């Protein structure tokens, strides 16, 4: 998603419907994936905000008109980069098992 918003300001983002839809769609996919994980994964990796990941998916999918673009922007800019790193580590650990 960072690629979708690369070199974009928040103002540009909030005025670009295609980018907003692409970002929201990808957040929904991430939330769906988090929702289909085995409970053991969540227990093994409690530092990952699984509830928040699923929560943002629920807002994007079920409460589309309540989506706060400032929160989405903050999520992309601040929360997503370390989350991606954490998820990559989980995937590596799982594939090594």
* 57 classed as catalytic: yes
User: Residue-wise pLDDT tens for the chain (97 aa)?
Assistant: 778 999 999 999 999 999 999 999 999 999 999 999 889 999 999 999 999 999 999 999 998 788 999 999 999 999 999 999 998 888 888 887 6
Q: Which of 17, 57, 66, 93 is catalytic?
A: 57
Q: Which of 17, 54, 62, 93 is catalytic?
A: 62
* Residue 37 neighbours by CB distance under 10 Å: 15
pTM above threshold 0.75: yes
Instruction: Decide if 33 contacts 42 (C-beta within 8 A).
Output: no
- Tokens at residue 51, please? 């509830």
Whole-number pLDDT of residue 4: 93
């Amino acid at each position: 998603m960072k690629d979708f918003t690369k070199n974009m300001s928040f103002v540009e983002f909030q005025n670009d419907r295609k980018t907003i839809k692409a970002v929201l769609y990808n957040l929904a996919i991430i939330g769906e994936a988090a929702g289909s994980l085995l409970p053991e994964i969540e227990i093994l990796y409690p530092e990952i905000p699984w509830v928040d990941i699923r929560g943002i998916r629920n807002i994007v999918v079920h409460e589309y008109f309540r989506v706060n673009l400032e929160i989405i922007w903050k999520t992309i800019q601040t929360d997503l980069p370390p989350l991606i790193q954490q998820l990559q580590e989980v995937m590596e650990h799982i594939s090594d098992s």
